[in-house]
Amino acid sequence: PRAVLNIDKPTSKKVGGSANGLADDSTKADIIKKLEYTVGASPSDAKAKDAYQAVALSVREQLLDKFNKTQEYWKKQDPKFVYYLSAEFLMGRSLWNTVYNLGLEGKYGQAVNALGYKLEELREQEQNAALGNGGLGRLAACFLDSIATLDLPGWGYGIRYKYGMFKQALKDGFQDELPDIWLTNGNPWEIARPNIQYRIGFYGSVDNHKWSPAEQVIAQAYDNPIPGYNTSTVGNLRLWEAKPVNEFALDKFNEGKYDEAVTERRKAEDISAVLYPNDATEYGKELRLKQQFFFVSASIQDVLARFKESHSNLKDLPSKAMFQMNDTHPTIAVAELMRLLIDQEGLGWDEAWAITVKTLAFTNHTVMPEALEKWPVKVMGKLLPRHMEIIDKIDSIWKDSLKEKVLGNLEKAGKSAKPAAAAKPKASTDGKPAKKAGAEVEEEEEEDPVEKELTRYGIITENPWEKGVKLVNMAFLAVVGSSSTNGVAHIHSEIIKETIFKDFYEIYPEKFQNKTNGVTPRRWLAYCNPGLAALITKALGTDAWIKEAHLLEGLRKFAGDKDFQAKWRAVKLDNKKRLKAVIKARVGIDVPVNALYDIQIKRIHEYKRQYLNMLSVIHRYHHIKSLSPAERKKVVPRVVVFGGKAASAYYMAKKIVKLVTAVGDVVNKDPDVGDLLKVVFLPDYNVDLAEVIIPAAELSQHISTAGTEASGTSNMKFQMNGCLIIGTMDGANVEIAEEIGKENMFVFGVDADDVPRLREERKNFKDYDPRFTAVLKSIADGEFGNKEYFADMVASVSDMTKGNDWFLVANDFATYMDAQEEVDALYGDQDEWTRRSILYTAGSGFFSSDRTIDQYAKEIWNVKPVAPPA
Ligand code: RUG
């Protein structure tokens, strides 16, 4: 790292650059001033990290200028706002994005160069804001970018976690988890708001519907301005930090009870300390519910406070505010908005309910049962007793409203609607007496058939695994308590109507919608792949595609153009070199550039089937070894890269990580294989690593068991960057195939409709592909070491008494291998490969988050653009 800034004193010339057209003196001077007086570094021995801070602080002023103007303008205009409530925002780094979205790249690029740095290298100094687990959190970040870019009045609301997503390291090839201490150097992109604070209560008792919380904490706001692209609009992400009501108990301290003196502070700070580590496993249930309530309550209180500054009638709230609940995490909002309207604002139940339903909307992101939150009534009742009371009432009013319908249904089906004890043993519909009628009557004495039917609709239900334990189904609460429920890809939105929300869909068909996800083409094409962006802009004769992604369609006409193809390939080669260097630097593996770069980056999960990918890698390895040296010359070389974090408590996912590294250890040093196959696990996959990996990818894997991946969003990022996809007909892959032509994608595997049947049949599954058996045997026999450690992974897909191949790895293996063969064959024809690559980018416009957000704004939120004057 350089220690000396090039600080030739700025000349008196203010703007317009120096004689060589590079340095913009006023910008340069501003950076130096920030360095000296805010960062407190001496220019002569400033480090890159200091220079980054100084540049960021300088850019921040430009950002805040527009931010203040936007917020003031919106306040004056008083439009309807959307508030995006999300427990996760995976923002990544901000410097580059801010500079480019504000159009400051020329000015700052030059000033930074004149100071002896490059913007690219300063960018590397920034900590990642990893306040999210994966797709869901990154989607929220893309949405904020699009909301601002489309000039929509809107804010995000979430938690300012002190520690973000854990940092992943490898220790002997196993995942090691380290805390993500991302705020050590401060965060120049946020504005602390000590004057914006709300009280949040927990525990306590309820007397005559009046809640007296036993504990309170303070939620303090931090604003994170969100610049739109090529517009004067700068939106906001308001994050809450938990603070104690009483910082420090001096009396305890004086008594020598030092720990007790800070107990309250520590307990409060725990609430916003860590991003819950995953979306699929049990984790400090009470703390997690506390986090959810904490940020939801603060956000709603904040919105109501602002609303009341200029409105006196709460009935107008739905015309001024819409809360989008991102997954079940913020759905306690239904009860909290009811509580605030009734208990604090004095509204009646019906009035409050009408407002609540109109003001809330819900997005579902999964059908995986473990991620659909259900809080034990005991936990909810203890932590939030008034909310539990409200949810109870919502549940009973809701079920009462269904009684007639349920009665009608029972009668239609010819079933008795009276409790069995009151009913005489009745003839069944076929006229024969009911079997063992007497015994049944006795057994079901208490059972009221209507009540029994109603349990299907219950927001409060009994835990099927633990008799007598009642749970609050947060997804059901959200569907009933909001005006819209949407899935995140067409197939997913259909599945939820047929499965988890079937009963609700029958009652409220009009509430259900689809909003296929999208990703921002700024971060995920224009900025992460400048080479390709420049080529696209040149071909289309405009850079308007950055905001109007449908213009990418214009690339279609170049798909077969040999000259254009060559340029397209040259960009890919440059990006591959960049990734090659990162691989070398991070894990010390030398990978060739003249190989197919085959990537699977996402959270590690059995349903995402990294395991299936690994089985095919092992097969490839064995196959190469079986060839003669002459035959090996015909093999298409591959670099297979994996990246992704396993949830800390997810046993199988951790084994998958180890399998990748263990196979890599064997394959990468096998002289028979050489450069024909390299297997790489890149640790600590996160947003900025994705920004390097995705532009370099030639093949990406989206191979989840059909019906399990709600949408996927990395598939869209890869597509935008001209990377071919091998995938199942799952999530948004289905729509990507529609946009680019299914024949251009390597599709394999069973359809979602067949999965339940196959899961039943799997018990008798014997039809193993011999390649599958051989590969599995090699793991079981210890070819990659760790024989015992991998034993239950082997069993999970082969021993029907254990894992039962729930994710159909064995089942889909053969068609996956066929698809892989097609990949190899096509890579040999570089012209055709490149033609398809161009078609992928050309067909990616639909997957811009601008399109998604435009649909949300028009079809759910009814929020209209309001651009502040430039
Ligand atoms: O698993 C889903 C992805 O399929 C989807 O693309 C993403 C954004 O919609 O959300 C992911 N997700 C779902 N993350 N957490 C959950 C469940 O809480």
Give pLDDT tens digits for 432-467: 434 443 444 444 456 788 888 899 999 999 988 888
Answer yes or no: is the C-beta of 371 below 6 A from any ligand 1 atom.
Answer: yes
As a whole number of angstroms, the distance between CA 617 and CA 660 comes to 9
As a whole number of angstroms, the distance between CA 738 and CA 336 comes to 42
Answer yes or no: is the C-beta of 710 below 6 A from any ligand 1 atom.
Answer: yes
CA–centroid distance, residue 275 to ligand 1 (Å): 16
pLDDT at 79: 98
Answer yes or no: is the C-beta of 608 below 6 A from any ligand 1 atom.
Answer: no
pLDDT at 766: 74
Ligand 1 atom nearest to CA at 138: 8
| C-alpha distances in Å from residue 291, one per residue of 315, 656, 849 | 29, 30, 28
Centre a 10 Å sphere on the Cβ of residue 250 and count the other Cβ atoms it contains.
Answer: 10
Give residue for tokens 């997913």: 492
pLDDT at 293: 98
pLDDT at 438: 41
pLDDT at 215: 96
pLDDT in tens, 776-796: 999 999 999 999 999 999 999
CA–centroid distance, residue 793 to ligand 1 (Å): 24
pLDDT at 24: 58
Give, to the nearest 10 degrees, the angle between helix 490-498 and helix 733-740. 140
Answer yes or no: is the C-beta of 488 below 6 A from any ligand 1 atom.
Answer: yes
pLDDT in tens, 273-319: 999 765 455 557 888 999 999 999 999 999 999 999 999 999 999 99
Nearest-CA residue for ligand 1 atom 13 is: 365
pLDDT at 429: 38
Give me the interface pTM, i.e. the ipTM: 0.99
CA–centroid distance, residue 816 to ligand 1 (Å): 24
CA–centroid distance, residue 679 to ligand 1 (Å): 27
Answer yes or no: is the C-beta of 365 below 6 A from any ligand 1 atom.
Answer: yes
pLDDT(804) > 70: yes
Task: Establish how many alpha carbons lie within 13 A of residue 315's alpha carbon, considering only the half-sphere containing its beta carbon.
Answer: 4
Q: Are 113 and 78 in contact (CB under 8 A)?
A: no
pLDDT at 550: 98
In the chain the first and final C-alpha atoms are separated, in Å, by 39
**Can you give the residue ranges of every domain in the chain?**
387-428+437-514, 522-847
Catalytic residue among 66, 399, 523, 602: 602
pLDDT in tens, 136-156: 999 999 999 999 999 999 999
pLDDT at 242: 98
713 carries an active-site annotation? yes
| C-alpha distances in Å from residue 853, one per residue of 97, 124, 147, 331, 859 | 19, 30, 7, 21, 10
As a whole number of angstroms, the distance between CA 311 and CA 345 comes to 13
pLDDT(523) > 50: yes
Residues in the chain: 870
Q: Residue 221: beta bridge partners?
A: 193, 240
The predicted model gives 651-660 an average pLDDT of 97
The predicted model gives 253-257 an average pLDDT of 93
Centre a 10 Å sphere on the Cβ of residue 430 and count the other Cβ atoms it contains.
Answer: 6
Whole-model pTM?
0.94
Which ranges in 588-725 belong to alpha helices (H)?
610-626, 629-632, 651-667, 687-696, 714-720
At residue 21 the predicted structure's pLDDT band, cuts being 50, 70 and 90, is: very low
CA–centroid distance, residue 715 to ligand 1 (Å): 13
pLDDT(421) > 70: no
As a whole number of angstroms, the distance between CA 425 and CA 843 comes to 64
pLDDT at 286: 86
Answer yes or no: is the C-beta of 359 below 6 A from any ligand 1 atom.
Answer: no
pLDDT at 446: 64
490 carries an active-site annotation? no
| C-alpha distances in Å from residue 326, one per residue of 285, 331, 360, 632 | 19, 8, 11, 50
| Mean pLDDT for all residues in the chain | 92
Answer yes or no: is the C-beta of 711 below 6 A from any ligand 1 atom.
Answer: yes
pLDDT(534) > 50: yes
Q: Are 164 and 37 in contact (CB under 8 A)?
A: no
Mutation probe of ligand 1 site: the residue of 84, 370, 702, 711 with most atoms within 8 A of C-beta: 711
pLDDT(2) > 50: no
Task: Give every strand in the sheet of 460-462, ordered side by side.
Answer: 374-376, 470-473, 460-462
Phi (first) and psi of residue 133, to 5 degrees: -90, -45
pLDDT(335) > 80: yes
The predicted model gives 486-500 an average pLDDT of 97
Which burial class, exposed, middle or buried, applies to 836 when counting CB atoms under 10 A from its CB (0-12, 13-18, 19+)? buried
Phi/psi region, residue 414 (left: phi>0; alpha: psi -120 to 50; beta: rest), is: left
Mutation probe of ligand 1 site: the residue of 366, 607, 702 with most atoms within 8 A of C-beta: 366
pLDDT in tens, 366-381: 998 878 899 999 999 9
CATH class given for the domain over 522-847 = alpha beta
CA–centroid distance, residue 147 to ligand 1 (Å): 20
pLDDT at 831: 98
717 carries an active-site annotation? yes
290 carries an active-site annotation? no
What percent of the chain clears pLDDT 70, i.e. is strictly above it?
93
pLDDT(531) > 70: yes
